[in-house]
Amino acid sequence: MAATQVLKSEWTKIRSVSSTVWTLGLAVVVTIALGMLISILSKNDYDKLDARDKLTFDPTYTSFAGMSLGQLALIVFGVLVVSNEYSTGMIRTSLAAVPQRGTFLFSKVLVATLLSFAVGLVTSFLTFFVGQAMLGTHRAQIGDPGVLRAVIGGAIYMTLIAVFSMGVAVMLRSPMLSLGILMPFFFLISSILGNVSATKKIGRFLPDQAGSKIMQVKTPFDDDTPYGPWGGLAIMVVWVVAALLGGYVLLKKRDA
């Protein structure tokens, strides 16, 4: 089967499964709604901040506060894109139609990545503008230094979360097992490692903590992270590439 046919097939699979479409829609709604709420609360609490905190107040990053919950839907999307075929047994039919497993995997990943980025870009810009509207006089402008990079970076971050989840799902094949590992990893383990002083230096190199740096415009005074926004994004890309390579190797070696 030609590569273009494989891409069309993967696009049809993704858009024909209602659960994958709903998860992307949920990612948009949750990210924007929570970002709006946090922005309102931040505006109300701004006057209570001390002078130093006011200097490092980051209105752009504040509007992206909902990303921590919105990424939950992206994780589910990434897992479902891959593991739906395993849970239904359709993977055997798919691999029979496309015996080149590398072509099969990376066509699926490419289509899902482009879709994730399109949704992420819309979500990121809407989240920013809605959040800044809520912040009122404390808002940032899209033309301010570092802001456009942070907004586009938010879309890239959302995309990489989804792609990382795809790689893990290919390795594990089971949707329940994949979600059972990814959810605690991002929402429990990462938070604990990043907030406990003894493990903070390890936690900052986890994919979500490193990648989220791209959405920061201002750095807090007590932030001693040894990398900047692009360095953090590069660390996240390494995690994503490792997950995809792991999935590819296992897909090539084992039976469907």
Predicted confidence (pLDDT) per residue in 6-58, tens digit: 888 888 888 877 788 889 999 999 999 999 999 999 999 988 888 888 888 99
- Report residue 182 as tokens: 């990814």
Q: What percent of the chain is helix, strand and coil (3-state, nearest 5)?
A: 80, 0, 20
Range of the domain at 190: 3-253
Report whether 228 contacts 171 (CB < 8 A): no
Report whether 166 contacts 244 (CB < 8 A): yes
Count other C-beta atoms under 10 Å from residue 45's C-beta: 9
**Which helix (H) or strand (E) segment is 86 a member of?**
helix 67-88
Coil vs helix vs strand at 105: helix
In the chain, how many domains are there? 1
Task: Tokens 């490692």: give the residue.
Answer: 193
Coil vs helix vs strand at 2: coil
Note the pLDDT tens digit of each residue in 122-156.
999 999 999 999 999 999 999 999 999 999 999 99
Count other C-beta atoms under 10 Å from residue 15's C-beta: 12
